[in-house]
Amino acid sequence: MNKKDVYVLPGTIQCAKNYGYDGLDIWTKKGKEIISDAKIFIGHSLGASFILKSNINRNCKFIFINPLLEKRCFIVHFINWLRFLIFEGFPIKKAVPVKYWWHTFRQALHLLNVDVLGQIKKIPQENIIIIRGKYDNYFCDKECVEILKANKIKFIEVEAGHDWNENIKNTVEDILKK
């Protein structure tokens, strides 16, 4: 698969360039809508929610990394985000500039309303792959694993937490080679 056929929507407060693929910086004011002729869309965390709320042909291929499957109130997500930052965290150099943090906050609030599971069910099963970090105890946690199993949605567990790491990157690259 050609890298130009892949388009990434990054996780909360991160830049698309952190992933090694072209993408849309949804956490800045530039990130308004998906305009791409990509064949494969990668959505990390709330980036998956952004894809699912967009008007993208459901016959494309989708790779969702640690999507927020379970509807939870903002306070629960905020507490989990604080726990994530404290216990897992990510380098500040991966974050969008501070001037965009208010936009990021508003964008996250909007994306928390997406019915992720309902939208995933509308995608043909052969067009979707979910990658879950085995140690994601914050967003795509063990409750989400039970939701995936109950809905017979296939997923791959990798040695990772919530954030993009080498193991997730390698798994994505293996999927793209097929």
Q: What are phi and psi of 62, to 5 degrees?
A: -130, 135
**Overall number of domains in the chain:** 1
b/e 53-88 (16+ beta carbons within 10 angstroms → b): bbebeeebbbbbbbbbbeeeeeeebeebbeebeeeb
The token duo for 27 is 């956490």
Bridge partners, residue 44, by sequence: 65
What is the rounded average pLDDT of the residues 159-170? Answer: 97
Alpha helices, DSSP H, located in the chain: 46-53, 74-87, 101-111, 116-120, 142-150, 166-177
pTM of the model: 0.93
Query: Is the model's pLDDT at 57 over the cut of 90?
Result: no
Which range marks the domain in which residue 58 is found? Answer: 3-177
State the amino acid at position 140 in one-letter form.
C
Cα of 52 vs its chain's centroid, Å: 10
pLDDT single digits (tens) 5-52: 999 999 999 999 999 999 999 999 766 677 778 999 999 999 999 999
Confidence of residue 113 (pLDDT cuts 50, 70, 90): very high
Q: Specify the pLDDT at position 31.
A: 62
Q: Residue 97: CB partners within 8 Å, gap ≥ 6?
A: 28
**In the predicted model, is pLDDT for residue 80 greater than 90?**
yes
CATH number at residue 61: 3.40.50
Q: What's the angle, vertex CA 73, arms to CA 68 and CA 74, rounded to 5?
A: 85
Task: Give the pair of three-digit tokens for residue 2.
Answer: 């050609």
CA distance 52 to 20: 22
Per-residue pLDDT for 139 more than 90? yes
Pairwise CA distance, residues 16 & 121, whole Å: 26
* pLDDT given for residue 71 in this prediction: 86
